[in-house]
């Protein structure tokens, strides 16, 4: 099982979640973070750290954001891993 970063992260890209991840499964895109589904150990440490509540268990992703499950899997393969907290841009 895995967790998924969804729409609320878009444009904000807070990185509070990456520093608590014990397996370094977060990847950084231009506008959003992604979770690699095969690396995530489903520990849920990241969920309460997300200030915009953008991280969901794959079974609980809201229907309107269902496409983010596949997007995370796809983009985690092509973006760099992120393990340190960075300054977040202002949310739109």
> What is the value of pTM for the model shown?
0.94
Query: How much is the pLDDT for 7?
Result: 97
**What are 26's strand-pairing partners?**
35
* pLDDT higher than threshold 70 for residue 88: no
Look-up of token digits 């849920």 = 44
Q: Report in angstroms the alpha-carbon separations of 69 from 55, 66, 87.
A: 11, 6, 25
* Residue-wise pLDDT tens digits, 4-57: 999 999 988 899 999 999 999 999 999 999 999 999 999 999 999 999 999 999
CB 36 within 8 A of CB 69: no
DSSP run (H or E) holding 14: none
The CATH number of domain 3-75, selected from 2.60.120.10, 3.40.50.2300, 3.90.550.10, 3.30.70.20: 3.30.70.20
Q: How far apart are CA 7 and CA 12, in angstroms?
A: 10
Region 65-80: what's the mean pLDDT? 98
Query: How much is the pLDDT for 90?
Result: 63
Domain borders along the chain are 3-75
């Amino acid at each position: 099982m895995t967790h998924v970063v969804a729409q609320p992260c878009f444009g904000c890209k807070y990185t509070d979640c990456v520093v608590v991840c014990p397996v370094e499964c977060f990847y950084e895109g231009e506008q959003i973070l992604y979770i690699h589904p095969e690396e995530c150990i489903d520990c849920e440490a990241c969920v309460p750290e997300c200030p915009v509540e953008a991280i969901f268990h794959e079974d609980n992703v809201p229907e309107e954001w269902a496409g983010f499950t596949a997007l995370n899997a796809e983009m985690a393969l092509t973006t760099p891993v992120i393990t340190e907290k960075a300054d977040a841009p202002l949310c739109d």
